[in-house]
Amino acid sequence: MKKLKIGVLVSGTGTNLQSIIDNIEKGELPAEIAIVISNVEGAYALERAEKHNIKTTVIEHKGYKSREEFEKVLIEVLKKEGAGLVCLAGFMRLLSPFFLNTFKYRVMNIHPALLPSFPGVHAQKQAFDYGVKVSGCTVHFVDEGTDTGPIILQEAVKVLDDDTEESLSKRILEKEHLLYSKAINLFAEGKLEIIRRKVLISNDK
């Protein structure tokens, strides 16, 4: 079976990128990272990729007059590298309908909360400050809203009485590293089907 080629978009340290790399190298994820693209020069995620001989490039959004111009270049590079799935790993830019229609239901993201609760930035802090008893993480397809796309997988993390925002965030991140690769694996095996906004997982394919 032909391996799924992934394009990963990053802006920061890239811990979720590292977990994907590790799971591929362990043979647990039948995929190949074709390209890692950062919109920020010097992002540590690029260094992570380069240590594993993965192709990287920097496309700074500040160098373009419009979001569409920036995304046209992103699309060109991703298509050139044959990316069948685009994974966001700490990519701090909202993607426009122009980009999302080009890769319809082929853009995936992970969020450190149980969506639809606590979308947007600082989700762990939002959940912690609200006083929830259970938090977690969500892998979803990206749509035009902020963390509103169809949910693929979720994993719950119990909030302990003596938790801090930092300790809760650390435990959620551990779950993220497992869940993201699991969702990518399901995509690679052709086991995900979207009906309206519900993602069905097939055991037959």
Sheet of 134-141, strand order? 56-58, 31-38, 4-10, 85-89, 107-111, 134-141, 151-158
Classify strands 151-158 and 192-195 as parallel, antiparallel or unpaired: unpaired
Distance CA 25, CA 30 (A): 9
Show which residues are catalytic. Answer: 111
Q: Given a cut of 60, is residue 75 above it in pLDDT? A: yes
The predicted pLDDT at position 2 comes to: 81
Q: Given a cut of 90, is residue 1 above it in pLDDT? A: no
| Torsion sign, CA atoms 159, 162, 16, 145 | positive
CATH of 1-104, one of 3.90.1150.10, 3.40.50.2300, 3.40.50.170, 3.30.300.130: 3.40.50.170
**What residues does 111 pair with on adjacent strands?**
138
Closest CA to 178 of 145, 155, 204: 155
Mean pLDDT of 14-36: 97
Q: Given a cut of 50, is residue 70 above it in pLDDT? A: yes
* Confidence band of 204 (pLDDT split at 50, 70, 90): low
According to CATH, where is 3.40.50.170 located in the chain?
1-104, 110-205
Q: Which residue has the tokens 């699991």?
A: 182
Distance CA 126, CA 23 (A): 30
pTM for this prediction: 0.95
**Architecture label for domain 110-205:** 3-Layer(aba) Sandwich (3.40)
